[in-house]
Amino acid sequence: MLNELTAHEIHDLIVAKKISVFEVTEAILERIEAVGEKVNAYLSVMGEEALREAKKIDAAIAGGREVAPLTGIPIAIKDNMCLRGAATTCSSKILDNFRPPYDATVVDKLRQERAVFIGKTNMDEFAMGSSTENSRSGITHNPWDLSTVPGGSSGGSAAAVAAGETIMALGSDTGGSIRQPASFCGVVGMKPTYGLVSRYGLVAFASSLDQIGPLTKDVTDAAYLMNALCGHDRKDSTSVNREVPDYPQALVNDVKGLKIGIPREYFGEGIDREVRETVERTIRLLSKLGAKIKETSLPHTEYAVATYYLIATAEASSNLARYDGVQYGYRVGKQESLSGNSTIDMYEQTRAEGFGDEVKRRIMLGTYGLSAGYYEAYYLRAQKVRTLIKQDFDRAFEEFDCLLTPTAPTAAFKIGEKMDDPLQMYLSDIFTISVNLAGIPALAIPGGFTGGGLPIGLQLIAKPFAEETLFRIAYTYEQNTDYHKRKCNL
Amino acid sequence: MQYETVIGLEVHAGLSTNSKIFCGCSTKFGASPNSQTCPVCLGLPGVLPVLNEAAVEDAIKVALALNCQVSPYSKFDRKNYYYPDLPKNYQISQNYLPVAFKGYLDVPLEKGTKRVGIDNIHLEEDAGKNIHGGGADAGESLVDLNRAGIPLIEIVTQPDMRSLEEVEKFMISLRDILLYLGVCDCCMEEGSLRFEANISLRLEGESRLGNRVEMKNLNSFKMVSKALQHEMRRQGEVLKEGGHIKAETRLWDEEKEVTSTMRSKEEAHDYRYFPEPDLSPLIIKDNWIDRVRKAMPELPRERKLRFSREYKIPEYDAQVLIADKYLADFYEDTVKLFPEAKMVSNWVMGELLRGLKERNINIEECLLPATHFANMLNMIKKGAISGRIAKDVFAEMLDTGKEAEEIVKEKGWSQMSDEDEVSRIADEIIEKNPQSVRDFQGGKEKALGFFIGQVMKVTRGKANPQLVNKLLKEKLGKLK
Ligand SMILES: [Zn+2]
C-alpha cells in the first residue's frame, strides 16, 4: 500500500521510476475515501487539484526534471496556514469562507519543491486546545482508538499521518500543539527553534511562541521536511538569518558520548505509570548505546503553565482582535440578525457568534492580563518568569547536549473527558509548554505503547538551533526500536 | 490674580516615504479608495509587518534637528482599540521605548526666543479613513484603507508653552524643520500634519500643574489657535467663578467655534499597550546616526547665517525672513530674479508682511508669485511707477494675483515719463498763471512748488516728479 510508505521511501521509488506521483496521490485519496469519515482529520480535501498537480509533476519528471526530496510527496496543511485561494478557517466560524489571496511562506517553499497539497486539516479553533475537540467542524478521532482524542491543536495533521491519509503534514506548535498530538498518534513531530521557520501566512495565535513544524512517520522524513521549511524570510522580522544545515546529514546511528539530562521536575505527580516506564526503558536503551545519562533540574518548571497562559492569551487577545466582521469572514450584519445599529453592536454580535467558548475564554483572560493596573502584575511578571525558565534551560545545556522527557503525562484520553475542565486540559501540555517559552527546539518521537495499545511519546529537547542533535539521537533510537513502524488498525 | 496658561502639543506628521511603514504599498495621496493596499496593511490573517528603514531614517533626521537623543534600542508596542479604519484593531506604535527622546526646539518669537522641550518622538502607523453615509444606505459607512500604514512620527512636547504666540511660532518652526528636512509635506488639508493640544491654567507663581484638557481634531494652525483661545477663555471663566476644571478630552467644533466634552478621564480608553511580538527591537547604531547627520540638509539656523552672508542683509532681516520657510523661500526666489537683496527684504518685511496681516492670511495662502513681485520691483527701479503708487499696485496684486503691469494699465497708474507730454502740460499751466510766474521771477522760490503741484494734479500723480521738477525749472528760468 503506497499510502503506508514514508516520504523517503516514495522518493526512492519515484526516482527509480517504479511508481508515479499520480499513483501515490491516488492511493492517498483512496485512503481518505475509505477512512476519512471515521477519523475526520480533514476540513477540506483538494482531490482534483492534487491529481492535476500530480500529473504535471509526472510529466515534468518524464521530461527530465530533477526530483527533489519532497517532489510529488503528498502533504496535508493545518488549517491555520494560508494556501492561496483555499478556505483557511482555523476551524472557526468567524473565518467562514475566508480564502487568502496569498501563500504562507512554508506553503510557497513546498510549492517550489513540488510537494502535492492534499488538503487542510482539522484543529482546535485558532490552535487553542489540546484535543482537537474545539473545532466548529467536529471532533477528530485518534486512529489508534476512535473513542480517544488525537491531541491538539494539530490533531487533524497528526491523525492524518497516523491513519495514512497523507504522507506528511504541517502543524503549528505554540505550547505543544505539534508534539502532544504526535505523541497521542504515534508519529514524529518537531517544534523548531523560534525564528527558524517563517511564520508569514500562519494565522497567529501567540506570536512570540508560534512555530510551524513537521509531522511525519519517521525521523528521516522530519529531517527532509525541515530542510524544505527552514530559512530566512524577509516577510517575517522574527525569522533568523543564518545558514540552514542539511538536516538529513545529522541522521547518524550513534549516540556514543552524548550527554542526556533527565529533568526530575518532569516525573512528578500526574504522570502515568506506563509513560514513566517508557522513559525509563528509553534511558536504559540509550545508555546501552553509549549515551551518558544523568538526572538534572529545571527548577522553574512549575510556573510554566501559568506563565504560558498569561503570555499566550495576552498576545492572542490582540491577534484575534481583527476578526470583527468588517472586512472578511463571518459578520452579523443588517441582512442577518443584527440587533441595534452601531458598529459596536456588529462587533459584539459577530464575535459572540463567531468564536467558540475556549477562544472567548482565552481572549477574556488575555484582555484582563493586559488591562491597566494588571499589566505589571500579570503580563510583565510572566515575561520575567519566562526569562527564568529560559535560564533554567541555558544552565542545563551547559552540561547536556539534550534533555529527555515524556511528551505528555498520559497517552490519548477519551473524547469529552476533559472538555468540562479547562485546567485539566491545560495540564496535558505541561511537558511541552516550557520549550515554547524558551524558544528552543524539541522533537517528539514514538516511544512505546500502553497496555491498551495507545502510543506513548518521548520528547527530546536541545538548545537553540541544535535540531541536528535531536535528529541524531532520535534516529539512533529509531534504528534500535520499531515503535515507529507499527500501524494502527482502522 | 492672574492665571498662567500651560500648553503642550502632540504633533502627528505623515512621513513622505515612498512606501508604507510595514509593507511595500505606495503612500501617494488621492488614489482611488483601497487601491493602495495589500494583505499586510489590510491586516489579513497571518501576515506580518516588516519595518521600512526609510521611515526610521526620517525619524532620526527629525530627532537630530530637534536636538533629541536617538535611542540605540527602541521597541514597538501594540495600542489596542476597536475602530473600523484600523484593520488589525490595534495600532503598531511605540509606547515604552520610543525612537528618540529629550530634545528641544528654540523658537524665534516677536521678541527673543523660546525653548520648547521635546519629550519624545515615536514612530507609528496611520489608520485608514471612514467615510460615513457614503454607502448605498444612508446608515452605512465605507472604509478607505489607502492611508492605513502610512508612517507617522508623533512629536510630543513638554508643557512648556505659555501663550498663543509661543504655540503659533512653535508650530511654524516645527513645520519648517519638517519641510527643510524633506520628511513631511506638511499638507494640512491632506492630513499629513495634525495637532493635538493639552492645556491647563494655574495661578501665576504656582508650580503644580492644573487639570489638563486634551483637545483633538485640530487640523490647521488656525484651528489650534482658535481652539486654544476658546479653551483659555472657558477655563479662565470656570476658575474665576470658583469652579473646577475636569481632566478630559474635548473636541473642537470648527463650525460653532466651541469645544465640547468628548470623553472624561474615567472614560478614557485602556489601550492595553504591550510589546509588538512580530517586530524585533529597533537597533540604531552610532554609524547610522553619523551617516544621517552628515547628510542633513540646511536648517533654519544655517539658512539665517547664509542669508546674512550671501545677501549682505542685516541679521535682523535674516531672522525675520527665516522665521517662516515659505517667506524665506519667497524672498530667495525674488532675489534670484531681482538681485537688490536689501530692497527686496525691505519690501518683504514691510509691505508684504503688513499686507498678509491685514488680510489674515499666511504666505502660502497668498496669491502672489515671486516672479510678479520681482517684476514690480523692477518697474519701480526703472521708474515706470513711483514708490508711492507701487504700494497701491502691490495691495492690488495681493488681492488679485495679477501682474503689476496689468494693474497699472487697467487703473491708468503708469508714471508719465513722456517728456513732450509733460512739457506741454507745464507750458499750459505757466500760461494760465502769469501771477505765479511773476512771483517766481520776483524771487519767490515757493512758487515752484505751486507749479509742481498743479502739474501733478492735472496728471493725477502719474508724472515723473524728477522730470516735472527739471522741466519747470528750465521753462521758468528761460522766462526770466
Ligand atoms: Zn500594504
β-strand partners of B8: B198
- Mutation target to probe the A interface, by most A beta carbons within 10 A, among B267, B278, B279 is B278
Buried b (16+ CB within 10 A) or exposed e, B155-181: bbbbbbbeebebbbbbbbbbbbbbbbb
Average pLDDT, stretch B113-124? 97
The answer to whether A95 faces chain B, any CB pair under 8 Å, is yes
The confidence score (pLDDT) of residue B1 equals: 67
Residues 428-467 of B with CB under 8 A from A: none
In a domain, A16, yes or no: yes
What CATH number is attached to the domain comprising A57? Answer: 3.90.1300.10
Q: Single out the residue of B225, B87, B223 nearest to residue B167, CA to CA.
A: B225
Q: How far is the centre of ligand 1, averaged over its atoms, from the C-alpha of A93 (Å)?
A: 26
Closest CA in chain B for residue A315: B277
The residues, any chain, with a CB within 8 Å of residue A229's CB and separated by 6 or more, are A106, A109, A110, A170, A192, A197, A212, A213, A214
B355 secondary structure, DSSP code: H
pLDDT digits (tens, 9 = 90+) for B362-386: 888 888 899 999 999 998 888 778 7
Give CA–CA dist B416/B336, Å, rounded.
29
The confidence score (pLDDT) of residue A137 equals: 94
Are residues A449 and A363 both part of a single domain?
Answer: no
Are residues A376 and A451 both part of a single domain?
Answer: no
In a domain, A229, yes or no: yes
Distance between start and end Cα atoms, chain A: 14
In a domain, A10, yes or no: yes
HSE-up of B387 (CA within 13 Å, CB side)?
7
Query: Is the CB of B45 less than 8 angstroms away from the CB of A234?
Result: no
Q: Nearest CA to CA, how far is B267 from chain A (Å)?
A: 13
Sheet holding B151-157, edge to edge: B69-70, B100-108, B113-125, B151-157, B3-14, B193-203, B213-218, B248-253, B258-264
Query: Is the CB of A200 less than 8 angstroms away from the CB of B49?
Result: no
The residues, any chain, with a CB within 8 Å of residue A485's CB and separated by 6 or more, are none
Buried b (16+ CB within 10 A) or exposed e, B280-298: eebebeeebbeebeeeeee
Distance between start and end Cα atoms, chain B: 77
Are residues A17 and A157 both part of a single domain?
Answer: yes
The confidence score (pLDDT) of residue B63 equals: 98
pLDDT digits (tens, 9 = 90+) for B217-269: 788 999 999 999 999 999 999 999 989 999 999 988 888 888 888 888 777 78
Query: Is the CB of A327 less than 8 angstroms away from the CB of B51?
Result: no
At B438, the pLDDT band (50, 70, 90 cuts) reads confident
Are residues A86 and A187 both part of a single domain?
Answer: yes
The confidence score (pLDDT) of residue A427 equals: 85
Antiparallel, parallel or unpaired: β B274-275 and B77-80: antiparallel
At B417, the pLDDT band (50, 70, 90 cuts) reads low
Which run of H or E residues covers position A340?
A: none
Instruction: Please state, in angstroms and as integers, the Cα–Cα distance from residue B172 to each residue in B68, B106, B115, B175, following that order.
Output: 19, 12, 14, 5
Q: Nearest CA to CA, how far is A351 from chain B (Å)?
A: 12
Task: Write out the CATH class of domain B419-479.
Answer: mainly alpha
Are residues A181 and A316 both part of a single domain?
Answer: no
Are residues A58 and A143 both part of a single domain?
Answer: yes
Radius of gyration of chain B (CA): 30
Give CA–CA dist A194/A441, Å, rounded.
8
The confidence score (pLDDT) of residue B91 equals: 98
The confidence score (pLDDT) of residue B136 equals: 65
Task: Report the predicted TM-score, pTM, of the whole model to 2 decimal places.
Answer: 0.89
Query: Is the CB of A379 less than 8 angstroms away from the CB of B84?
Result: no
The length of chain A in residues reads 490
Are residues A240 and A332 both part of a single domain?
Answer: no
Tell me if B167 sits within 8 A of B134, measured CB to CB: no
At B466, the pLDDT band (50, 70, 90 cuts) reads confident
The confidence score (pLDDT) of residue B434 equals: 85
The answer to whether B289 faces chain A, any CB pair under 8 Å, is no
Q: Decide: helix, strand or coil at residue B70.
A: strand
Q: How far is CA B179 from the centre of its chain?
A: 10
| Torsion angles phi and psi, residue A33, rounded to 5 | -55, -40
Tell me if B404 sits within 8 A of B371, measured CB to CB: no
The confidence score (pLDDT) of residue B134 equals: 63
Tell me if B347 sits within 8 A of B378, measured CB to CB: no
At B473, the pLDDT band (50, 70, 90 cuts) reads confident
Closest CA in chain B for residue A320: B88
Mean pLDDT split into 10-residue runs, chain A, 490 residues: 96 97 98 97 97 98 96 98 97 96 98 98 98 96 98 98 98 98 98 98 98 98 98 97 96 97 92 96 98 97 96 98 95 78 90 97 97 94 98 98 97 94 87 98 98 97 98 98 92
pLDDT digits (tens, 9 = 90+) for B294-351: 999 999 889 999 999 999 999 889 988 998 889 999 999 999 999 999 999 999 999 9
For residue B205, the tally of other CB atoms under 10 A from its CB is 8
Q: Single out the residue of B157, B82, B159 nearest to residue B127, CA to CA.
A: B82
Q: What ipTM is given for this predicted complex?
A: 0.95
pLDDT digits (tens, 9 = 90+) for B24-49: 999 999 899 999 999 999 999 999 99
Query: Is the CB of A321 less than 8 angstroms away from the CB of B42?
Result: no
Instruction: Please state, in angstroms and as integers, the Cα–Cα distance from residue A247 to each residue in A78, A283, A289, A440, A468, following that order.
Output: 23, 24, 22, 17, 6
Domain ranges, residue A361: 302-382
In a domain, A398, yes or no: no
In a domain, A423, yes or no: no
Q: Considering only residues A99 and B136, tell me which one the structure prediction assigns the higher pLDDT.
A: A99
Average pLDDT, stretch B423-450? 84
pLDDT at residue B470 above 90? no
- Tell me the chain B residues in contact with residue A82 when contact means C-beta distances shorter than 8 Å: 45-46
A127 secondary structure, DSSP code: G
Q: Nearest CA to CA, how far is B405 from chain A (Å)?
A: 59
Domain boundaries, chain B: 3-291, 298-411, 419-479
pLDDT at residue B135 above 70? no
HSE-up of B333 (CA within 13 Å, CB side)?
14
Q: Nearest CA to CA, how far is B81 from chain A (Å)?
A: 9
pLDDT at residue B276 above 70? yes
In a domain, A81, yes or no: yes
Are residues A115 and A194 both part of a single domain?
Answer: yes
The answer to whether B84 faces chain A, any CB pair under 8 Å, is yes
Query: How many domains does one find in chain A?
Result: 2
Q: Single out the residue of A210, A215, A208 nearest to residue A185, CA to CA.
A: A215
In a domain, A371, yes or no: yes
Radius of gyration of chain A (CA): 21
Task: Give the percent of chain B with pLDDT over 70.
Answer: 98
The answer to whether B279 faces chain A, any CB pair under 8 Å, is yes
A403 secondary structure, DSSP code: E
Q: Single out the residue of B39, B88, B42, B127 nearest to residue A323, CA to CA.
A: B88
Antiparallel, parallel or unpaired: β B258-264 and A455-461: unpaired
Give CA–CA dist A192/A464, Å, rounded.
9
Are residues A224 and A329 both part of a single domain?
Answer: no
Catalytic sites of A, residue numbers: 78, 153, 177
Q: Single out the residue of A351, A347, A349, A346 nearest to residue A362, CA to CA.
A: A351
Q: How far is the centre of ligand 1, averaged over its atoms, from the C-alpha of B37 (Å)?
A: 4
In a domain, A397, yes or no: no
The confidence score (pLDDT) of residue B138 equals: 66
pLDDT at residue B3 above 70? yes
- Mutation target to probe the B interface, by most B beta carbons within 10 A, among A315, A330, A342, A383 is A315
Q: How far is CA B278 from the centre of its chain?
A: 39
For residue B442, the tally of other CB atoms under 10 A from its CB is 8
